[in-house]
Structure formats: structure tokens, C-alpha cells
Structure 1
Amino acid sequence: MPLKLTPAKLFATTTLLAAAGYPAYEYRFSNTTFKTTPPTSHNKMTVDNSFETLFAVPLSCDGCIKAVSDSLYKLGGIKNVEGNLKDQLVSVKGTGKANCFPEVCVYTDCAAPSAAPSAIVEAIQATGRDAILRGSGASNSAAVSILETFEDPVDGLYEEPSRDVRGLARMVQVSSGRTLVDLSIRGVSPGKYRASIRAYGDLKNGATSTGPVWSGEDKKLRGDLGLVEVGEDGRGASFVDHEFQIWEVIGHAMVLTRQEEKAEPLKNDKDTVVGIIARSAGMWDNDKTVCSCTGKTLWEERKDEVKKGML
């Protein structure tokens, strides 16, 4: 039976956030609360989606921490930055507050007010240092989808070694009925792309076998994630809030494409990327620094993933 929440119940909900990233990467999030401000002439409310993200960053001195902090504060939406030289970690706390109309915040999608995790990574990298999201938060409340091209796929063969990675979607559930979605894409043609969660998780024929947009039990198109604008450099990003829970979308496919949604299945082309939505670890779920399978360190694994096209 689908979960139904009234605005009053939703605003009173307090949860621990979890985060998504690559298999070895996670987010760290603090408690999230929904608060209402005193009534105004516009009947607005203040939504608090503040969260904390933990990154592994190479740090050698206090000057490194200052350089990273200065770069992050320029983003906006950042409340606090703390560095730990001993553990080579940087924690970032977002402001997470925005004034919205209750009808918009509860029943439709709102722009997330804090800096997106992908933007935080880019700001750290702008200082000449790499960053890996390590984080914390509640288990089973985060997901990730690695988006790849399936142009000219071989029937029945999904995991081809030559598959090109073009994007990443990170999802974090911030309340019992809402999830933040951080989408990044690169290496595709400029233009507007539709992002969607599909009805199926079947990638044997790429986007073609993923079915229609996911509608959920209420038959609404709940899988429509909106548009992502890709610039002339082939890069695009979106960080928004959607009305679904993580457990509802695990195992489904995610697709970004310039194709119009029609009755026939999507086609696989160079500007259509697709991936499976999978759970990602929460706080303490994965604190390894050396892979037990390969013997490689966290940073050695990071280099391997970047070569494959990971963001």
C-alpha cells in the first residue's frame, strides 16, 4: 500500500540522511527536519534540508585545509567546512534552507538549496587536489546509478568492456517521502536532456529494454526527473528534490536522452545514457582504505575509475 503523508506529518518528520556515490564512496548527512515559518501573506514555509558530506582529500598542512575551505565557501549553500589532517578528511555542512510554497514542496519537485555533492567535488579539485566521497548517514537510504552509452549494443550482452561512462546519478532520501537527486553528465552533445527512472531494470538491449517511464502504483509518472541542460563543453548537471523513496527505485533503470517520449521504445544512440539504480553504503557501511580483492588503496582505485570515465 503506498505511503500517504499530509503536509503536517511530512514537516514533522526527522530522519538521518544517507548518501550515494561510486561503490567505494558515500555521503555523510546530518539530521533533516522540515520546519514551517509563521504564516505570511504568501503562505510560504522554510524547508531545512541541511546535510553534511565527508570527503577523503589529500592534506599535508593547515594551508591545504584553508585552500579547500576558501574554494568551497565560494560555492554558496555551504555553512561549515572542517578538515582533519590526521585522517585526511574534509567535512562539509550545507545550509539546506529555502523558502517555498507548501504545495510545491510537498506535491511537486523543488530545487535543492544546498551545494550539490558533485559541485563540492569540483570545487575541491579546483585547488589541485582530488576528492572521494566517504560520508555517513543511515543505511538503505542512498543509491547510485553509473550512466553509460549503449550505442550499437550486442543483443543480450550488457557488460561490454568498451562501454563508455558518461554520467553519474547520486540519490539521497531526506525524509520518508522525498529524495535528493544529484545528476552529472559529460561527453555528450549540447542540448536539453530528459532524465527519467524507467519501469524496468533490463539493460540487455540498453535503453530500448528499460520500458516506459516509471509510474508507481498510483499510475502517475513519478519517474520523470525533469530536464538537464548540457553546454557546449558537453557537460551538464542537475540537483533537485523528488517525491519518492529510495527503496521504490532500487533495481530500476535511469535514462538521460534527447529523444522524445513516444509509444515505441527508446533507441540507443551516442547521446542516450543508461544505468541501473543500486544501493550505496551509508555511514560505517564501508570504511575500507585498501581493497581486499585487488590490494589497491582507495586512491589507486580512484585512478582506475577515472580512466574508465567516472566523474
Structure 2
Amino acid sequence: MAIKVQLAVDMTCQSCVDDITQVLSDVPGIQSLNISLPEKRVVVEGNAGPSAILKALKSSGRSAVIRGTGSTAEGTTGAAVCILEQKTPPYTRGLVRFVQISTDTCFVDISVNGVSDGTHRASIRECGDLSDVPGSCGGVWQGASEVGAAGELGELVVRDGWGEACFETGQFAVWDIIGRSVVVSGESSGSGISSGVLAGVVARSAGLFENDKLVCACSGNTVWTEQRLVDQGRLL
């Protein structure tokens, strides 16, 4: 089952469109690509993870923001995002995206950046309380799984500070996990965010074409300026 990813990309001319086409042609799993220069919109369809698409665009020097994700299946809705943070700046260290691609299958895309190399484990926790991570998040969410815990998201291997994983699961649906938290920690990490644990609350995110805002109403910045500030750890 394929998913669609909608991005806002800072582009001004046909040369920009050509460059984006070339960069994304090297990303495995992309089946189709639709670029609108007037709307500064890129829509990618296929099996590539949203984090891999965004990473490719940023590595080329392009400013890009994921605006929505969705399934190619008719009648399937549901998308969520979790911003993984630590207590010390730069605060933002990763994202987890969840896309419901059929009634019984959820696509999970995890990416972290600037964390220690090695094997990390990711899990959905019972609670969305980040007051004293990881204890306040509760135990790993069990769900209705008869084989292990539904909230176990598996291992994430980090090399040169970057790690990513994407997979499909039938253990839960997007609507089951809204308001819960995701915790990512190294095998030898301590008990708090300050010692290497990342955490965030799962929140509903925009689906395809549900968010076309190009300027932040609060600051007046473009979405690309806002994203650069996030990358620098200056905004949530």
C-alpha cells in the first residue's frame, strides 16, 4: 500500500523544479511525483518514508516542510505526528509520523538527528505526561495485542547522529494512540531526557491538502523560516 506525502518547498523557477525532480529521483520507493511551482507544492506517492523524502530535499539545500500525509486507499483517513525532544537545546531531535494506510494497517516513520550513535529503542507509552520522562509516561502501551506489547516500535540504529526507520504494523490504528507519548532511548541511557531519552506526545496531524498555510500568522515568518528555526532548536 502506498502513501502520499505533501510538502511545501521553497522554489521560484523551473530550474528549482528540475533540481527537486533530480534529487527525489534518487530516493528509493518513490512511484510518482507531482510538483506545482505556483503553489510551491510537492506531492510524492510511493513507499518511501516521509523522513527520507524530507532529508533528500534538505541535503540539496532546499527548505521544505511536510504539510500533510495520507493513504492512497479510498476512504482511509488518519495521520498523527510526535515531536521528539530533549530538555536541553537544541530541543527538537526527531519526529515520528503515523499514517493510517488501510483500516487495519498503520505506516510508521521514525527519524532522529544529532543523537548518540548506537542502538536505540522506541515505544509508545501509556500516558502523554512529559513532566518526568520516562517515568511519567507510564509503561509500554499494551493495546489489544495478543503477541507482545502493541506499543513496541522496535530498534533504531543511529550512525553519524542520524537514524531512521519506517514500517507497517497492524498492532494499532492512529486513533488508538492520540494523546499517548513516544519514548526513544539508547540501551545504556539513564532514566531522564537529560541522559539521552527523547520523548513527545502523539497529536493528530494534517492530512493531504488540509494545510496550505505559507506564512505563520504569529510571527509573520514563512513556513520555511519557521522550519529553519526548528532545525536550529530555537522553536518547538
TM-score, normalising length from structure 2?
A: 0.87
Query: Once the 2 structures are TM-superposed, how far is the Cα of residue 76 of structure 1 from its aligned partner?
Result: 1.7
Aligned to 1:277: 202
Asked if residue 75 in structure 1 is aligned to residue 3 in structure 2, the reply is: no
Asked if residue 84 in structure 1 is aligned to residue 4 in structure 2, the reply is: no
Query: Once the 2 structures are TM-superposed, how far is the Cα of residue 291 of structure 1 from its aligned partner?
Result: 2.4
Aligned to 1:177: 104
Query: Once the 2 structures are TM-superposed, how far is the Cα of residue 139 of structure 1 from its aligned partner?
Result: 9.0
Given that 2:69 and 2:79 are in contact with CA atoms closer than 8 Å, whether structure 1 keeps it comes out as no
**Alpha carbons of structure 1 residues 250 and 260: separation in structure 2 relative to 1, 3 Å:** farther
Given that 2:92 and 2:230 are in contact with CA atoms closer than 8 Å, whether structure 1 keeps it comes out as no
> Following the alignment from structure 1 to structure 2, what is the Cα–Cα distance between the partners of residues 131 and 267?
32
Q: Answer with 285-294 or 272-281: which moved more.
A: 285-294
Aligned to 2:180: 252
> Following the alignment from structure 1 to structure 2, what is the Cα–Cα distance between the partners of residues 129 and 260?
36
Aligned to 2:58: 125
Query: Once the 2 structures are TM-superposed, how far is the Cα of residue 61 of structure 1 from its aligned partner?
Result: 2.5
Asked if residue 135 in structure 1 is aligned to residue 72 in structure 2, the reply is: no
Aligned to 1:50: 2
Aligned to 2:233: 308
> Following the alignment from structure 2 to structure 1, what is the Cα–Cα distance between the partners of residues 76 and 234?
27
Given that 2:63 and 2:224 are in contact with CA atoms closer than 8 Å, whether structure 1 keeps it comes out as no
Query: Once the 2 structures are TM-superposed, how far is the Cα of residue 218 of structure 1 from its aligned partner?
Result: 4.9
Find runs of 4+ consecutive structure 1 residues off by over 6 angstroms. none
> Following the alignment from structure 2 to structure 1, what is the Cα–Cα distance between the partners of residues 233 and 220?
19
| Matched residue type, 2:169 | H
Query: Once the 2 structures are TM-superposed, how far is the Cα of residue 279 of structure 1 from its aligned partner?
Result: 0.8
> Following the alignment from structure 1 to structure 2, what is the Cα–Cα distance between the partners of residues 135 and 253?
21
Given that 2:76 and 2:103 are in contact with CA atoms closer than 8 Å, whether structure 1 keeps it comes out as no
Query: Once the 2 structures are TM-superposed, how far is the Cα of residue 310 of structure 1 from its aligned partner?
Result: 7.7
Query: Once the 2 structures are TM-superposed, how far is the Cα of residue 171 of structure 1 from its aligned partner?
Result: 0.9
1:60 is matched with which residue: 7, 12, 15? Answer: 12
> Following the alignment from structure 2 to structure 1, what is the Cα–Cα distance between the partners of residues 121 and 176?
20
> Following the alignment from structure 1 to structure 2, what is the Cα–Cα distance between the partners of residues 165 and 125?
16
Given that 1:198 and 1:252 are in contact with CA atoms closer than 8 Å, whether structure 2 keeps it comes out as yes
Residues 154-303 of structure 1 aligned to structure 2 (within 5 Å)? 164-218=91-145, 220-231=148-159, 233-243=160-170, 244-259=172-187, 266-303=191-228
Decide which structure has greater strand share. 2
What SS does structure 2 have at the residue aligned with 1:251?
coil
> Following the alignment from structure 1 to structure 2, what is the Cα–Cα distance between the partners of residues 193 and 142?
24
Given that 2:35 and 2:42 are in contact with CA atoms closer than 8 Å, whether structure 1 keeps it comes out as yes
Query: Once the 2 structures are TM-superposed, how far is the Cα of residue 299 of structure 1 from its aligned partner?
Result: 2.4
Question: Which runs of 5 or more structure 1 residues have no equivalent in the other structure?
Answer: 1-48, 95-113, 152-161
Query: Once the 2 structures are TM-superposed, how far is the Cα of residue 186 of structure 1 from its aligned partner?
Result: 1.7
**Alpha carbons of structure 1 residues 150 and 298: separation in structure 2 relative to 1, 3 Å:** closer
TM-score, normalising length from structure 1?
A: 0.67
> Following the alignment from structure 1 to structure 2, what is the Cα–Cα distance between the partners of residues 249 and 225?
13
Query: Once the 2 structures are TM-superposed, how far is the Cα of residue 258 of structure 1 from its aligned partner?
Result: 1.9
Map Cα deviations across residues 134-182 of structure 1 (whole Å, 9 max, x no partner): 236479611111111248xxxxxxxxxx572211111111111221111
Instruction: State the superposition RMSD in angstroms.
Output: 2.6
> Following the alignment from structure 2 to structure 1, what is the Cα–Cα distance between the partners of residues 117 and 69?
35
Aligned to 1:15: none
> Following the alignment from structure 1 to structure 2, what is the Cα–Cα distance between the partners of residues 163 and 92?
29
